[in-house]
């Protein structure tokens, strides 16, 4: 249901953001990093703070992170495993990075640690890449970044495409160039080892700003390239074999980038929003069935919430929880240049898509929390744990106006 979460005790200037990292753990939404637009300038958000939103009550809390903190980043890749958040690569105010940092969020106080003494070859600096977490390994795909000329010469021409409009020189000598990749890089969290598996099959084109999701032992990649319709690729993480789904263009969503793709069952992927190939912010929702290999457009009540560069996480009862992003990141496109329009409209709201019928337990919690006056003294009879949960739901409903948002397939 609609969750325009009450941002009590949370400064607006800290919550509005794009290109951030977010994940959900035990009914709590964690948000880190990203950027804001202030007076027309992109401003990176502090790396020594993380925001927590209790999804039952809608209350935000800011927590500080000490230690060896990463630079202030946007378009980095955040991955969460065993209570620890890892941040890899991204874009800072001075350029791209390929550093990795971790913070144990199960500790009483949070402290950053730079991940050093790794084995293998660390991927080159990049941003707008994606990650699957599989068997406590991080499997990174794609992105836009820089390589030295030596790295380009030693890289397969099929895995890195140079951006012809972007390079740097020392004197008359070409020193570094930028471009897109479709590389697969694996980081094993147990052995701190980087590796590059050899893949088979038709790999996706080089891309960034795409969306990815994991279902079982298969990683899915879609979008992020200039195509009229969304494509869909699948990588088997046991055999390292790529599969390209052949789908009729007439049945596919518009091509897009900067959107989200969230697994909602063993064989379904949910996508929302993004930036169309003509530079418009989208508000459509689709489901992809990996067994039938077909798209279905979904009717939903959030047409007034177009989003780009947002996050979408799987919450309780298979809710898709959307946070932040921009509701109007328009780009002006002509045959010579692409410019971002002045209007940006950064968001700080949280809203949810219901993807399955709720359990009786959840329906009861929501009804009682939304109507506590009907129960009076009876609420005091509840066990303390259940009473605390009902109190949180009551706090949530007292500050929001819920709207039914069950998806129509």
Q: Residue 7 has what pLDDT?
A: 41
Number of domains in the chain: 1
**At residue 200, does pLDDT exceed 60?**
yes
pLDDT in tens, 330-344: 655 554 444 555 456
pLDDT of residue 274: 97
Q: Does residue 405 fall inside a structural domain?
A: no
The pLDDT value recorded for residue 168 is 67
The per-residue pLDDT for 340 is: 53
Q: What is the pLDDT of residues 305-317, one digit of tens each?
A: 999 999 999 999 9
Question: Percent of the chain beyond pLDDT 90?
Answer: 78
Residue 2 counted as domain residue: no
* pTM, 2 dp: 0.91
Instruction: Note whether residue 313 is domain-resident.
Output: yes
The yes-or-no verdict on residue 157 having pLDDT over 70 is no
Q: Which domain holds residue 261?
A: 12-399
What CATH number is given to the structural domain containing 379?
Answer: 2.120.10.80
pLDDT tens per residue across span 84-101: 999 999 999 889 999 999
pLDDT at 176: 83
In a domain? residue 82:
yes
Q: What is the pLDDT of residue 252?
A: 94
For residue 373, being part of any structural domain is answered with yes
Q: What's the pLDDT tens digit per position in 3-23?
A: 444 344 444 457 999 999 999
Residue 311 resides in a domain:
yes
Is 229 within the bounds of a domain?
Answer: yes
Query: 139 in a domain, yes or no?
Result: yes
Q: For every residue of the chain, which 3-state class applies, written as one string?
A: CCCCCCCCCCCHHHHCCECCEEEEECCEEEEECCEEEECCEEEECCCCEEEEEECCCCEEEEEEEEECCCCCCECCEEEEECCEEEEEEEEECCEEEEEEEEEECCCCCEEEEECCCCECCCCCCEECCEEEEECCEEEEEEEEEEEEHHHHHCCCCCCEEEEEEEEEEECCEEEEEEEEEEEEEEEECCCCEEECCCCECCCCCCCCCCEEEEECCEEEEECCCCCCECCCEEEECCCCEEEECCCCHHHCCECEECCEEEEEECCEEEEECCEECCCCECCCEEEEECCCCEEEEEECCCCCCCCECCEEEECHHHCEEEECCECCCCEEECCCCEEECCCCCECCCEEEEECCCCCHHHHHHHHHHHCHHHCHHHHHHCCHHHHHHHHHHHHHHHHCCCCCCECEC
């Amino acid at each position: 249901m609609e969750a325009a979460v009450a941002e009590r005790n949370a400064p607006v200037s800290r919550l509005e953001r794009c290109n951030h990292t977010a994940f959900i753990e035990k009914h709590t939404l964690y948000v880190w990093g990203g950027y804001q637009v202030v007076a027309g300038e992109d401003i990176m958000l502090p790396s020594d703070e993380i925001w927590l939103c209790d999804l039952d009550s809608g209350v935000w809390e800011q927590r500080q992170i000490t230690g060896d903190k990463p630079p202030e980043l946007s378009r980095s890749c955040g991955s969460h495993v065993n209570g620890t958040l890892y941040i890899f690569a991204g874009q800072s105010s001075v350029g791209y990075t390929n550093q990795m940092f971790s913070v144990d969020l199960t500790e009483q106080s949070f402290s950053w640690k730079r991940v050093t003494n790794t084995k293998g070859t660390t991927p080159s600096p990049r941003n707008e890449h994606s990650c699957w977490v599989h068997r406590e390994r991080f499997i990174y795909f794609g992105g836009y970044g820089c390589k030295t000329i030596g790295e380009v010469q030693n890289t397969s021409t099929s895995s890195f495409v140079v951006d012809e409009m972007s390079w740097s020189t020392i004197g008359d000598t070409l020193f570094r160039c930028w471009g897109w990749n479709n590389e697969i890089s694996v980081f094993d969290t147990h052995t701190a080892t980087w590796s590059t598996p050899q893949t088979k099959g038709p790999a996706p084109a080089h891309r960034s700003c795409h969306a990815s999701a994991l279902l079982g032992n298969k990683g899915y990649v879609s979008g992020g390239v200039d195509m009229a319709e969304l494509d869909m690729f699948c990588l088997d993480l046991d055999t390292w074999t790529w599969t390209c789904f052949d789908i009729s263009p007439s049945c596919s969503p518009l091509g897009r980038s900067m959107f989200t793709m969230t697994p909602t069952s063993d064989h379904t992927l949910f996508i929302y929003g993004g930036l169309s190939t003509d530079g418009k912010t989208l508000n459509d929702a689709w489901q992809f069935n990996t067994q039938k290999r077909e798209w279905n457009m979904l009717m939903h009540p959030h047409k007034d919430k177009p989003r780009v560069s947002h996050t979408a996480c799987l919450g309780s009862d298979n809710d898709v929880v959307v946070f932040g992003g921009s509701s109007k990141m328009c780009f002006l496109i002509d045959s010579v240049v692409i410019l971002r329009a002045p209007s940006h409209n950064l968001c700080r709201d949280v809203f949810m898509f219901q993807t399955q019928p709720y359990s009786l337990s959840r329906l009861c919690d929501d009804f009682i929390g939304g109507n506590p006056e009907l129960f009076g003294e009876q609420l005091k009879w509840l066990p303390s744990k259940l009473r605390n949960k009902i109190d949180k739901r009551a706090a949530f409903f007292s500050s929001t106006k819920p709207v039914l948002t069950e998806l129509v397939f």
